[in-house]
A and B are shown apart, each in its own frame.
Chain A
Amino acid sequence: MNTIIESIKKEFNNNILGVSISHNETYLTIKKEIIVKMCDHLYHHLDIPLVCIFATDEREKAGSFKVHYVFSLDREDAFIILRIDIDGKNPKFPSITNKVAAANWYEREIQDMFGLIPVGHPDPRRLMNFEDWPSGVHPLRKDFDIKTKPPRVVGEYLYRRVEGEGVYEIPVGPVHAGVIEPGHFRFSVAGEPIINLEIRHFYTHKGVEKLFENISLDKAVFLAERISGDNSVAHAVAFCQAMEKIAGMNIPPRAKHTRTILLELERIYNHIGDIAGIATDVAFSFGAAHANKLKEDVLQLNERVTGSRLLRGMNTIGGVRRDIGSKKDEILLRLSLIHRDFRKLMELLFSTPSLMDRIETTGRLYNDIAKGLHVVGPVGRASGIDRDTRRDHPYAAYREFNFKVPVSKAGDVHARTVVRGDEICESIAIIEQALWSLPEGNINIKADNIPDGHALGYSESPRGETIYWIRTCGNKIERCKVRDPSFCNWLSIEYAVLDNIVPDFPIINKSLSLSYSGNDM
């Protein structure tokens, strides 16, 4: 860590205005003009992934907006956060998207939510504020009242145009055939193969980050839990950990073990559900029925253990709310049965030619594309990105357990299915270890007052790296940035479908397992 900071200091000596360290986070305040060069240096030269960009409105206290660039130093369980000041009178900052493609949506998000303009962004269209939203109204600015109802205005959104002989467009959505959330997909095809896909999202943007600023601390965890319905534990844990970090709390070991078990139960039911979905989308109903049955077994186990099929209501700042120690034998027994059935099912799936024909080489996401977009989670790992928050930034009780992080290089639907299958087996092994070594003691400590401060909280949800950055002030949340893995992964679908035929789109989509709700916050 220190050697990297020293090397950065040497390289950018006069441009670093201040350094502050809290926990495993090093904040470097730098000159706005140097940001592109510095991000380029960190990202390309030092090979440190950019995991989040977010802005804060600090005009009242510091007289300016600030934009934070969070880099994750995986090898050393540390984060480097570059911070630039932006004057409210000249709300512009240099765009880094041309150098670091992963910055694309973050910068457009900041443009919409804070009214700070990323100068030189290759795609300056609006992202979340739709065309009927008046210009100059930016919801995450502190002077925007949460009760504001801006008038609707007339506007137009321009899609990329793909033209040529025999090229035609297939617009799909935002209303879909199934009970899923809204999103627009605009395919350009020449014959059957897809030659371009443009996605448009945020139809159900709910202003969650603004809601956090207007809710009391003890209730905020329930909001975090509901950001992405099937990743509720991961969100709740990331939120609680950020709060506990600010408060300098060390939660009881029994709570850490319990959280680990819950996080892995969540991963198991999500991954089995995704495998069921892939089987459904290739019309292999036998495989789908059996995978869905296994998923139901896990959901019922969840209900027995926590009182909630989706594991809700378990986490709180300071630990967990229910003790699961008495359910140990039941969890072990049921998981061993599920494990046995699951392994047999996977063998059967992978020896079924009608399924293999459809998933091998389909929806290939190449490593360089995945890396460039900062694709996270099992999708990234199936494209050769060997990152996992559980191993790289160990939280809860992960430090104490042995587990492998399955990685594949193929990047197709098959690889994503294999990685998920292997992860389920690892998850079961982690739960077994956690239960066998479940420490005695309390399951939570009281957290009445949270001091003023800021911290990152993170977890590996079934979809990948989930990040919270929270600043508290006067026992309230002043800013809560939530970065769901789907926000990183959605754009990868535009590349994964290229040269595939339209009927394979549902399988590719399913194998990427993207959340609308986690994205449209």
Chain B
Amino acid sequence: MLEILKKTLKTGCQTTKYPDVPDVAQAGFRGMPQLLSDKCTFCGECVKVCPSGVITITEKSDEKTLALSYCGCIFCGRCEEACQFDAVKLTQEYELASLSKEDLVTIIRRKL
């Protein structure tokens, strides 16, 4: 009993103040992928390698669209690996909860 008390006092409070104080993920953490429209060439490599098939490319007469849905993303980082133009980056962002599915899609467009 005495040992338990001693250990409890010595350990103190271990929980963090999250969410009042932000809890920043480690460098190298595989979080929310980001599409960079200024670098993207719409080559479609990331679409091919995505294991869960959440990256889609659509082409209309005047516009190309690349969309990535976080709903099914497994944060494997293959898109980042496959992109020769550094247009996909996995960020340290992990707070992805949302009220609608639409908010969980990131889209970049290019006028043709």
Contacts and interface: CB of A to CB of B under 8 A. Distances in A.
Interface of A: 215, 218-219, 222-223, 226, 286, 290, 293, 300, 303-304, 306-308, 312-313, 321-322, 344, 348, 351-352
B76 A286 contact: no
Nearest to A215: B51
B49 interface: yes
A313 B4 contact: no
B14 A348 contact: no
Given A223-B51, A303-B25, A307-B29, 16 more contacts: A215-B51, A222-B74, A226-B74, A290-B11, A293-B14, A306-B28, A307-B26, A307-B30, A308-B30, A312-B75, A312-B76, A313-B75, A313-B77, A321-B77, A348-B3, A348-B7
A222 B73 CA distance: 12
Interface string B11-32: 1001000000000011011100
Interface in B70-98: 74-77, 81
B8 interface: yes
A219 B76 CA distance: 10
B49 A313 contact: no
Nearest to A284: B4
A222 B75 CA distance: 10
A308 B90 CA distance: 12
Nearest to A306: B28
A215 B50 CA distance: 12
Interface residues of B, number: 19
Nearest to A302: B26
Interface of B: 3-4, 7-8, 11, 14, 25-26, 28-30, 49, 51-52, 74-77, 81
12 contacts: A218-B49, A219-B49, A286-B8, A293-B14, A300-B26, A306-B28, A307-B26, A307-B28, A313-B76, A313-B77, A321-B81, A322-B28
B74 A303 contact: no
Contacts of B29: 303, 307-308
B7 to A, nearest CB: 7
Main secondary structure of the interface of B (DSSP, over half): loop
Contacts of A223: 51
A147 to B, nearest CB: 15
Contacts of B8: 286
Nearest to A344: B7
A222 B76 contact: yes
Contacts of A348: 3-4, 7
A380 B4 CA distance: 32
A88 to B, nearest CB: 34
A219 B51 contact: yes
Nearest to B4: A286
B74 to A, nearest CB: 6
Nearest to B49: A218
A215 B11 CA distance: 48
Contacts of A344: 7
Contacts of A304: 26, 28
Contacts of B49: 218-219
Contacts of B81: 321
A293 B10 CA distance: 14
Contacts of B74: 222, 226, 312
B71 to A, nearest CB: 16
Q: Which one of B7, B49, B51, B77 has the highest number of Cβ atoms from chain A below 10 Å of its Cβ? A: B51
A394 B11 CA distance: 40
A227 to B, nearest CB: 13
A475 B26 CA distance: 37
A286 B30 CA distance: 33
A126 to B, nearest CB: 31
A292 B41 CA distance: 46
A302 to B, nearest CB: 10
A219 B81 CA distance: 14
Nearest to A345: B7
Contacts of A306: 28
A290 B30 contact: no
B40 to A, nearest CB: 22
A485 to B, nearest CB: 24
Contact of A313 (B3, B11, B26, B30): B30
For the complex of A and B, list the 6 residue pairs with the smallest distance between their C-beta atoms, beginning with the closest. A219-B51, A222-B51, A307-B30, A307-B28, A313-B76, A304-B26
A243 to B, nearest CB: 15
A218 to B, nearest CB: 7
A306 B27 CA distance: 10
B82 to A, nearest CB: 10
A219 B74 CA distance: 12
A316 to B, nearest CB: 9
A222 B49 CA distance: 12
A322 B28 CA distance: 10
A223 B52 CA distance: 9
A199 B52 CA distance: 33
Contacts of B3: 348, 351
A307 B52 CA distance: 19
A321 B11 CA distance: 37
A290 B26 contact: no
Nearest to B50: A219
A304 B28 CA distance: 7
Contacts of A308: 29-30, 75
Contacts of B30: 307-308, 313
A4 B26 CA distance: 53
A290 B28 CA distance: 28
Contacts of A312: 74-76
Nearest to A292: B14
Contacts of A286: 4, 7-8
